[in-house]
Amino acid sequence: MLSAKLLEKLNDQMNYEFASANVYMAMAAYCSAESLDGFANFFIVQAEEERFHAMKIYHFINARGERALIQGMETPNNSFESVLQAFQEGYEHELKVTKRFYELSDLAIDEREHATIHFLKWFIDEQVEEESLFDSIIQKLKRIDKDSNAFFMMDTEFASRSFTPPAGE
């Protein structure tokens, strides 16, 4: 059985993941408005991943015999000066997500809630990948700067990105 505090924090994180999907949809909308459909697709796929993460927590809460509580969300930033800025904000957002999972994991460890500790390990591993992905894209965008051909190639590459839930999830 989950403690009231751990349940509250899991619910908070689940809702934060749903809100994260909206953050990425706002970035996708910006890219779409700029006719950058590949970059828009990147962020749409990112939003799908965030909803998947939220649902993973939702199912865990329910499997533990507790109730998931859905809460309202803040309006995300919808104003970006560039694709680079959108990715930089995405990277900063992922750093916050990582910090939240560390804090959640610390609480589970403090409470010796081993099932939750095991469950959260997947998210911590996922965050390493997320941070690395955003950092890599930011570095590429900085390198190509005004090279429209390289920018177009990245946009084309991201158009084929898709989300496939991990096997067994």
CATH code at 84? 1.20.1260.10
Q: How confident is the model at residue 152 (pLDDT cuts 50, 70, 90)?
A: confident
What number is the average pLDDT over the span 101-123? 98
CA 14, distance to chain mean position in Å, is: 11
pLDDT on residue 50: 97
Q: Is residue 81 one of the residues assigned to a domain? A: yes
Helix axes 83-110, 4-33, angle to 10 degrees: 170
pLDDT surpassing 70 at residue 169: no
State whether residue 150 is helix, strand or coil.
helix
Domain of residue 48, residue span:
4-148
Residue 158: partners with Cβ closer than 8 Å, 6 or more residues away: 38, 39, 41, 42
Q: Is residue 157 one of the residues assigned to a domain? A: no
Q: Is residue 114 one of the residues assigned to a domain? A: yes
Return mean pLDDT, the chain: 94
Q: Is residue 32 one of the residues assigned to a domain? A: yes
Buried b (16+ CB within 10 A) or exposed e, 19-58: bbbbbbbbbbbbbeeeebbbbbbbbbbbbbbbbbbbbbbb
* Count of beta carbons in the 10 Å neighbourhood of residue 94: 21
Q: How confident is the model at residue 75 (pLDDT cuts 50, 70, 90)?
A: very high
Q: Can you state the percent helix, strand and coil of the chain, rounding each to 5? A: 75, 0, 25
pLDDT on residue 146: 67
Q: Is residue 101 one of the residues assigned to a domain? A: yes
Q: Is residue 127 one of the residues assigned to a domain? A: yes
Q: How many domains does the chain have?
A: 1
pLDDT on residue 34: 95
**pLDDT tens digits, one per residue of 2-61:** 999 999 999 999 999 999 999 999 999 999 999 999 999 999 999 999 999 999 999 999
Q: Is residue 167 one of the residues assigned to a domain? A: no
Q: List Cα–Cα distances, 148 to 17, 80, 132, 151, in angstroms.
A: 34, 19, 24, 5
Q: How confident is the model at residue 123 (pLDDT cuts 50, 70, 90)?
A: very high
Angle, CA 44 vertex, CA 41 and CA 47 arms, to 5°: 155
Please provide the DSSP assignment of 62-97 as one string.
HHTT--------PPPP---S-HHHHHHHHHHHHHHH
Q: Is residue 130 one of the residues assigned to a domain? A: yes
